[in-house]
Amino acid sequence: MGGKKTIFLKSAADAEIIRANGQILGKCHGEVAKLLKPGVTTKYLDKIAEEFIRDNGGKPSFKGYGGFPASLCISLNDVVVHGFPNDRPLQNGDVLSIDCGVNKDGFHADSAYTYAIGDVSDEVNELLAETKRSLYRAIEQVKPGNRIGDVSFAVQNHVNDFGFGVVRELVGHGVGKSLHEGPEVPNYGKRGKGPKMVSGMVIAIEPMITLGKRFVVQESDGWTIRTEDRKPAAHFEHTVMVTDNGYEILTTFDYIEDALREKELVIA
Ligand code: MG
Ligand code: MG
């Protein structure tokens, strides 16, 4: 990773751009969510996402990033993050994480959601619901004067109650003109530690939570991160700004959850 990355504060004008990109990104996720069902390939989902982003005047943040080959990170079942779309059709019982970013007018927005495809076990449904809840617990800690450790602790403390694992090797990050800026936002940590949050900071908070043990390995493709014990993982992410008195979530799951409701599918 190199050294610590710089933290860049955003002006109101910068935030306006990231907010607009967050809307495009949310709608992109929503378009993809409409298509989710057994039989669909993730390569097709990736094509739809890329077309949607380009039709809206943006570029997919991930495509070409460090050589990443696609617009979506597709992480199925025991894959935690950074999986590639491929020709394998989705199957009943799959746990599918979709991560995407939009780059437009000089700024990025970044968000991720994890879906149950068809019927999954109660423990998997709980993993998804509580990982998402941990994201919102963490967001509640975002305000000037609080520290990144307060955000980190909120994730860890929430999921610990359910016996889930917290991945440590990958972390959230600042978002702006670069997809990954400072500060790092781990999903574990101590209250009152780490960089102090100030108004204008924009961070991606992204709990990566495992049903089994927290240990992960990287596949030989140099990207795909999966659980060592091959148990499923979940990943939810929002891009969030520190405001003068709290936070604003700059990305949205509204379009995703509208699509799921329409299809009468389970919402995490
Ligand atoms: Mg992401
Ligand atoms: Mg991210």
Domain assignment present for residue 32? The answer is: yes
To the nearest 10 degrees (0 to 180), the angle between helices 42-55 and 12-34 is: 140
pLDDT digits (tens, 9 = 90+) for 190-221: 999 999 999 999 999 999 999 999 999 999 99
CA of 112 to the centre of ligand 1 (A): 5
**Mean pLDDT across the stretch 53-61?**
98
Does position 3 have pLDDT exceeding 70, yes or no?
A: no
In which domain, by residue range, is 61 found?
12-263
Domain assignment present for residue 3? The answer is: no
Residue type, 267: I
pLDDT at residue 82 in the model: 96
CA of 170 to the centre of ligand 2 (A): 10
Residue type, 213: K
Share of the chain above pLDDT 70, in %: 99
Domain assignment present for residue 218? The answer is: yes
**Mean pLDDT across the stretch 1-19?**
90
CA of 179 to the centre of ligand 2 (A): 7
Q: Count up the domains in the chain and report the number.
A: 1
Answer positive or negative: Cα dihedral of 80, 81, 83, 85.
positive
d(CA 32, CA 27): 9
User: Nearest ligand, CA of residue 111?
Assistant: 1
CA of 257 to the centre of ligand 2 (A): 20
pLDDT at residue 1 in the model: 43
d(CA 27, CA 111): 11
Q: In the predicted model, what is the mean pLDDT of the chain?
A: 97
CATH of the domain at 108: 3.90.230.10
CA of 49 to the centre of ligand 1 (A): 14
CA of 111 to the centre of ligand 2 (A): 7
pLDDT digits (tens, 9 = 90+) for 69-113: 999 999 999 999 999 999 999 999 999 999 999 999 999 999 999
d(CA 15, CA 1): 26
User: Nearest ligand, CA of residue 102?
Assistant: 1
**Mean pLDDT across the stretch 208-236?**
97
CA of 145 to the centre of ligand 1 (A): 25
Any residues with CB less than 8 A from the CB of 163 and at least 6 apart, and which? Answer: none
Residues paired with residue 226 on neighbouring β-strands, in sequence order: 79, 217
Domain assignment present for residue 50? The answer is: yes
pLDDT digits (tens, 9 = 90+) for 144-170: 999 999 999 999 999 999 999 999 999
User: Nearest ligand, CA of residue 101?
Assistant: 1
CA of 91 to the centre of ligand 1 (A): 23
